[in-house]
Amino acid sequence: MKYAARRIAMLLLTMVIVSFFAFAAFSMISGDPATAMLGTTATPEKVAALRAELGLDRPWPVRYVEWLAGFFTGDLGISYSYGTPVWELIAPKVGLTLCLSLLSFMLIVAVSIPLGLRSAGRTGGRLEWLGTVMNQLGMAVPPFFTGILLTWVFSTMLHWFIHGQMPSLTQNFGGALRYLLFAAVALAVPRIAMTTRMLRSTIRREMERDYVRTAISRGNDRSGVLRRHVLKNALVPVVTFLAQTMAEIVAGSIVVEQVFAIPGLGRMLVASIGSRDYPVVQAIVVILAFWVVLSGTAADIVNQRIDPRLRMGGRT
């Protein structure tokens, strides 16, 4: 219980710190919301009037405390650009980016773990060099390129999906997932390569350990040892790595959303930074921070299931 409480406190603290730095950074970059909103019609008087109306004429720490108070009472404010409540604006996008990230994550886990095990189990096989080449290639190709390639093959040539026409998540869930799958693949490819490589090298290192040699010399078969003992030990760093991946997928989705014209959180973030729409930026930053901390927590819980030594709040 104490452990859970500490976790939640950590989560909140992280979100507050991240939001603070986002807010501070945002107050320091050039261009402010008032001039962005007024565009080429801006005059010093009008900028001043609008700044006063938006409350931007007060020092940023004051505004930050107000924002924080609003955040804890469930009020994320009104978007400067769209004039609508922030939550209404981003809620559908949260769902979309969540689906994209989860789909991509599932792909990574489902493909890289069997692949990693397979490649670790066989050393010096005929196809090892091919695996290495594929792996290097997978890591090197940026998601936007894979995205364009996938679109070209599956949309322009094969017409499996209509690029630029993402079905609505609420009205046609299956269709939306199908559309997202292509983006998820583009996002997953480099991560699959990295995770596979990571798993392979951890397993190989583990296989050289004394207990493995002992187990094998006592007559256990190699693949049995691999599955029963080695995998458990090798998984801990991999799970931690996957948690990082989860966070990185969200970052990567910014690019992929652009390529596949998906109206997700990433595009919204980029656009609102551009238009200096800081209520929206703040909300998205906090959601992303929450996401990152949550993945970390999930990884810890999974690791504790795998390795009982990590339980009771112990640390490695």
Partner 1 sequence: MKKRLMSLLLLAGLLCAVLTGCGDGSAEETPEDRAAANAITVGIAQDLDDSLDPHKTVKAGTREVMFNVFEGLMKPTPDGDLTPAIAENYTVSEDHKTYTFTLREGVKFHNGDTLTAEDVVYSINRCAAATETGIVQVEAFSVIEAVEAVDERTVTITISEPSNEFISYLTTAVLPADYTEQDTAPVGTGPFRFVSRTAQDSIVLERFEDYWGTPAQMDKVTLKIIENADSLMMSLQSGAIDLCSHLTSTQVDQLGDGFTVAEGTMNLVQALYLNNAAAPFDDVRVRRALSYAVDKQGIIDLAFDGYGSPIGSSMYPAFGKYFDEDLTDYYEYDPEKAKELLAEAGYPDGFEMTITVPSNYKPHMDTAEVLVQQLAAVGVTATILPVEWESWVSDAYTGRQFQSTVVGVDAANMTARALLERFTSTYGSNFINYNSANYDALFQQALATYDDAEQTALYKAMERDLTENAANVYIQDLADLVAVRRGLEGVVFYPIYVLDLSGIHYTA
- Applying CB under 8 A, the residues found at the interface with partner 1 are 30-32, 35-44, 47, 49-50, 53, 79, 81-84, 89, 92-93, 110, 114, 148, 151-152, 155-156, 159-165, 167-168, 171-175, 177-178, 181, 258-261, 263, 267-268, 271, 274-277
Q: How far is the CB of 10 from partner 1 (least distance, A)?
A: 32
Considering only CA atoms, which of 182, 175, 180, 193 is closest in space to residue 156? 182
Q: How far is the CB of 263 from partner 1 (least distance, A)?
A: 4
**96 or 198: CB nearest partner 1:** 96
**15 or 119: CB nearest partner 1:** 119
* Sole residue written with tokens 């565009």: 39
**43 or 316: CB nearest partner 1:** 43
Q: How far apart, in whole angstroms, are the C-alpha atoms of residue 278 and residue 56?
A: 11
Q: How far is the CB of 133 from partner 1 (least distance, A)?
A: 23
The runs of H, that is alpha helices, within 151-230 are 173-207, 210-217, 222-225
Q: How far is the CB of 231 from partner 1 (least distance, A)?
A: 12
Q: How far is the CB of 5 from partner 1 (least distance, A)?
A: 37
Considering only CA atoms, which of 244, 264, 267, 266 is closest in space to residue 191? 244
Considering only CA atoms, which of 144, 101, 91 is closest in space to residue 256? 144
Long-range contacts of 10-16 (CB under 8 A, 24+ apart): 10/293, 11/290, 11/293, 11/294, 11/297, 14/289, 14/292, 14/293, 15/286, 15/289, 15/290, 15/293, 16/68
**44 or 59: CB nearest partner 1:** 44
**44 or 308: CB nearest partner 1:** 44
Q: How far is the CB of 22 from partner 1 (least distance, A)?
A: 17
222: Cα within 13 Å, side-chain hemisphere: 10
Q: How far apart, in whole angstroms, are the C-alpha atoms of residue 11 and residue 292?
A: 10
Are the CB atoms for 191 and 115 separated by under 8 Å? no
**83 or 308: CB nearest partner 1:** 83
